[in-house]
A = this chain, B = another copy of it.
Amino acid sequence: MGRGTTLGKYCVIESGAVIGKNCSLGSHVIIHAESRIGDNVRIADNVVIGKQPARAKRSIFQDKGQPKLPPAVVGTNCIIGAQAVIYAGCTISDDVFVADLATLRENVSIGNNTIVGRNVTVENFTTIGSKCKLETNCYITAYSTIEDFCFIAPMVTTTNDNYLGRTEERFKHFKGVTVRRGGRIGAGAVMLPGIEIGADAVVGAGAVVTKDVLPRTVVVGVPARVFGKTPEEQLLENQGWE
């Protein structure tokens, strides 16, 4: 445990966990074995870091012959909200904000400066880029890729199984959502399995997206249809961000 780091009450720090300098941990924080926390990280009350996944007997993910997961890694200057759960095998870059009650699963990576909102779920085998905003309650399914500068609004749902749990065939086709650089998805929208949202595209609030969305294109409705082009002033290249 690094110099200047403070702990609340009743924390549990398991063997081999490494915590950097000038961190602050709330009360009742649990850091599982081998987890690695960078410098200047603030962890709120009741957080669990480094949880080992447990498989349901009927889970599509089974661990036979898989190597042991690497430890959870949290970069420097991160903030982790109350009641959040971060699994072993999750890697969080620097300056990431994880809000209260979020869950980040194993085999997930989160790019720097990304905001993971309250109660967001990021399922396993998923990559989230840098400077994204995943807003409250949104659900990112397994096998998804979200590139840099994406905006996923509250209560967005993504899916990865067109067969809703039936047929052996489905195991060949599991595919999450892909959101290209600067893609944005409005509140409460639903993405069907395997959908790709193009760079700087926009999905309107409440849309149900059944087909890929071309870059710089706005879609709305149920099912989603093309509504127009992304407004010039909203294009990523016109934000002066880089």
Chain A residues packing against B (C-beta within 8 Å): 8-10, 12, 26-28, 30, 42, 44-46, 48, 51, 54-59, 77, 79, 81-83, 85, 95, 97, 100-101, 103, 113, 115, 118-119, 121, 123, 131, 133, 136-137, 139, 141, 151, 153-155, 157-159, 163-167, 169, 184, 186-188, 190, 192, 202, 205-206, 208, 221-222, 233-236, 239
Contacts and interface: CB of A to CB of B under 8 A. Distances in A.
20 contacts: A9-B10, A27-B30, A44-B54, A57-B113, A58-B113, A58-B115, A58-B131, A59-B97, A83-B83, A101-B101, A101-B103, A101-B119, A118-B121, A137-B139, A154-B157, A157-B187, A169-B233, A188-B188, A192-B205, A222-B222
A188 to B, nearest CB: 4
Nearest to A141: B154
B153 A164 contact: yes
A184 B155 CA distance: 19
A190 B187 contact: yes
B10 A28 contact: yes
State the majority secondary structure of interface residues on A: loop
Identical copies of this chain, number = 3
Contact of A222 (B158, B165, B206): B206
Nearest to A149: B165
